[in-house]
Structure 1
Amino acid sequence: MTNIVPPISVLKAYDLHDPSVEVSTISNGLINHTWKLNQGNHAWILQKINTSVFQQPEWIQENIEQLGRYIQSINPQYQFVMPLSASDGTTLVEQDGNFYRLFTYIPNSQTITVVENTQQAKEAAFQFGNFTRQFANFDCSQLHTTIKSFHDLSFRYEQFQQSLRHGVQERVIQAEKWIALLASFSFIEQTYRSILTDPEFKVRVMHHDTKISNILFDQNHHGLCVIDLDTVMPGYFFSDLGDMFRTYLSPVNEEEKDLSLIQVRIDMYKAIVEGYAQGMGDVLTEKERQSFFDAGAIMIYMQALRFMTDFLNGDQYYQIQYPTHNFERAKNQITLLQQYLSKKNEFHNC
């Protein structure tokens, strides 16, 4: 893989173009390109924003700056990761149509890419819940929607329906069994629509990307803070909670082709529920608490629809490594959803 380096002009904008500054690539990001900069005892994180995904990068910065000012006014002890200003006072540096921002590296911090135990799951769930709770009184209508229809299940279901009519028909025939399974779960989309029309479900400041690598941990695996705030925008509780269920419950991820390895772990579910409920505290409504299970069903179903839709449309969105990659991902998520739904009664006892 080519080692991409940040432009000298960007480093100059932050007064970090000195030869003593060491630049290394951080490889675990899937969207933005990220580097770590070291100079003596100081370190920073530099990111290039992926404008194919985030077409209005200035909206990201406006959101983060608004939230940063708010949290500073109500809880200055809360560790909120703010971008640093360049020498001209801006927090977003443009170079040849690309956009960059710089953060202070938090010392003695680490990220993990795979949930290894229930304590990590509970700690991450607490951090994401606590993040939303900090903004319980913030008017989230002030925030930009950085990715339109990102977690809109009705929109994703309609895309799926369109792919059945206008997609690659050979693939529609190939996936017929799995398409029928997806259609049989359409009641989940009805649950989603009922949430949107019920005032007991609040529009909140949500992270929208709650994979475990978006939590910084200390060396003792205690959570420090939430990072990667590009997708922070108005949303509903199911986005963050449901995506934790989707990505933490099974010991294998969406890339696993051996469907027999997919399993839903009750202890992991319990840890996520406990951590998230503690993090959100009393800002959760009773209706939201009663709908924790639905959150997982919505997010797993949504991802299964997205993978199948992309496969039927000829793999236009997700990167693939082989011709049936998105089909295998869809089967993975459908299997995860089947197992998840089968454990509903056990989950209600958690």
Structure 2
Amino acid sequence: MSRLSQAVLSQFGLVEETTQIIPFGSGLINHTWKVITPEKDYILQRVNHAVFKDPSAIAYNTKRIANYLKEKHPEYLFVAPVSTKNRNEMEYLDEGYFRMFPFVAGSHSKDVVETPEQAYQAATQFGRFTQLLNGIDISQLKTTIPGFHDLDLRYQQFLTALKNGNSHRIKEAKTLIDFTISNADITSTYKQITTDPAFKQRVTHHDTKISNVLFDAQDHGICVIDLDTVMPGYFISDVGDMMRTYLSPVSEEEKDVDKIEVRDDFYQAIVKGYYEEMKDELTGKEKQHFFYSGKFMIYMQAIRFLTDYLNNDAYYGAKYPEHNLVRARNQMVLLQRLMEKEKTLATYI
């Protein structure tokens, strides 16, 4: 960053000599820094264009959403990018695409959801974000990652890996492979959803982990951030990702499956927060599939980890040989724990 710092900062009208740049946050996709100046602070990011093949689509969607919210809901805090001296939301330099946001004073984010109240606050913010944008023409938004939450695509990639993948790893993962195939009805349900007009495409965040919500000093949610994956999608993506990342006290990296559980009070908090904002938006059929959201997202992520393991870790990479196998097993166990509670949890909405 040091070699490019002057060039980057000058694009946003900042002077290197009076500016401090420090690494910020725990995100794995983009590089993020906090930029401290005598007047105010900013968040600077370099967009990972290996993941986001068309970064201009991100800038385009963000601008359209910002303009819509400014006109229809000016009271909502939307952290819009700072324009460059060329009046762009994102600028390409030698080492990638850069954009800058104002730092929201008094705000903080969280890497782990620790209480049901935090889960409730986050679910409220993600639900509110989609609800406020219910009048926007989603056909005008661009797809920033094609096929991102296409479960049918992920299942087909899994089947291909079974044919062409590492034969030794296929044998090692037989139990998980059998479990995946035995629950293929989750994919069938997804395919039905994509052809059923009762399921609406809306402005969907697609990455609803707790770190993508800003909180104030009292731990009340302020707004959602990290809008790279905002594009048209189904509500099951946002609700499902919250269930996947909030319900268990341990992350997808945990090797000890005995520590994996589904916490009922966190599930109720997600339902309460999201439903309070979206109850008038969701159709009756969508409400009936609220619980399915968790199955959908956990199953899909399990498939992605398992497929990558069979393909010699070509996508996610691995810190040790069985890393993606461990992740896949973790998510399969979480899915199993969730399905064991379906009769109870599905009644909360």
Q: TM-score, normalised by structure 2?
A: 0.98
Taking the aligned partners of 2:150 and 2:16, their CA distance within structure 1 comes to: 46
Question: Could you tell me the percent identity over the aligned residues?
Answer: 47
The 5 Å alignment of 1:234-273 reads 234-273=232-271
1:349: Cα distance to partner?
3.1
Q: Is the CA contact 2:309–2:322 (under 8 Å) kept in the aligned structure 1?
A: yes
Aligned partners of 1:310, 1:278: CA distance in 2, in Å?
37
- Report the counterpart of residue 132 of structure 1 in structure 2: 130
Deviations along 1:233-281, one digit per CA (max 9) or x if unpaired, are 0000000000100000000010000000000011110000000001224
For 2:56, the aligned partner's letter is E
> C-alpha distance in 2, partners of 1:127/1:68?
16
2:184 corresponds to = 186
Structure 2 gap ranges (5+): none
- Given candidates 268, 275, 278, the residue that maps to 1:277 is 275
Matched, 1:303 2:301: yes
Aligned equivalents of 1:138 and 1:349: distance in 2?
32
Whether contact under 8 Å (2:290, 2:346) holds in the other structure is no
SS at match of 2:18: coil
Does structure 2 retain, via aligned residues, the 8 Å contact 1:248–1:268? yes
Among 298, 319, 322, which residue is 1:324 paired with? 322
CA contact (8 A) 2:89 2:99 kept: yes
- For residues 13-48 of structure 1, give each alpha carbon's deviation from its aligned partner in whole angstroms, at most 9, with x where no partner exists: 112124121111114111110111111241011100
Q: Is the 8 A contact 2:204 2:233 kept in 1?
A: yes
- For the aligned residue pairs, the C-alpha RMSD in angstroms reads 1.1
Which ranges of structure 1 fall in alignment gaps of 5 or more residues?
A: none
Q: 2:202 aligns with which of 198, 201, 204?
A: 204
Q: Which of 149, 152, 169 in structure 2 is aligned with 1:151?
A: 149
- In 1, distance between residues paired with 2:89 and 2:337? 45
Aligned length: 348
Deviations 1:282-335 (A, max 9, x none): 111111111101111000000000000000000001131100000000000000
Give, in whole Å, the separation in 2 of the partners of 1:76 and 1:66. Answer: 14
Larger CA deviation: 218-227 vs 22-31: 22-31
Q: Which amino acid aligns with 2:323?
A: H
Find the aligned partners of 2:4 and 2:157 in 1 and give their Cα distance. 37
Contact in 1 for aligned 2:19/2:35 (Cα 8 Å): yes
What is aligned with 2:103?
A: 105
Q: What does residue 170 of structure 1 align with?
A: 168
- Partner Cα separation in structure 2 for residue 274 and residue 262 of structure 1: 23
From 217, 220, 230, give the equivalent of 2:218. Answer: 220
Runs (4+) of structure 1 moved beyond 4 Å? Answer: 3-6
Match of 1:213, as an amino acid? S
Letter in 1 for 2:113: V
Distance 1:225 1:142 in 2: 23
- Comparing 283-292 with 338-347, greater Cα deviation is found at 283-292
Q: CA deviation at 1:136?
A: 0.7
Q: Which of 93-102 and 256-265 deviates more?
A: 93-102
1:147-205 alpha-carbon deviations (Å, 9 max, x no partner)? 01000000000000000000001100111111101111101011111111111110100
Are 2:55 and 1:57 equivalent residues in the alignment? yes
Query: What corresponds to 1:141 in structure 2?
Result: 139
Which residue of the partner structure matches residue 41 of structure 2? 43
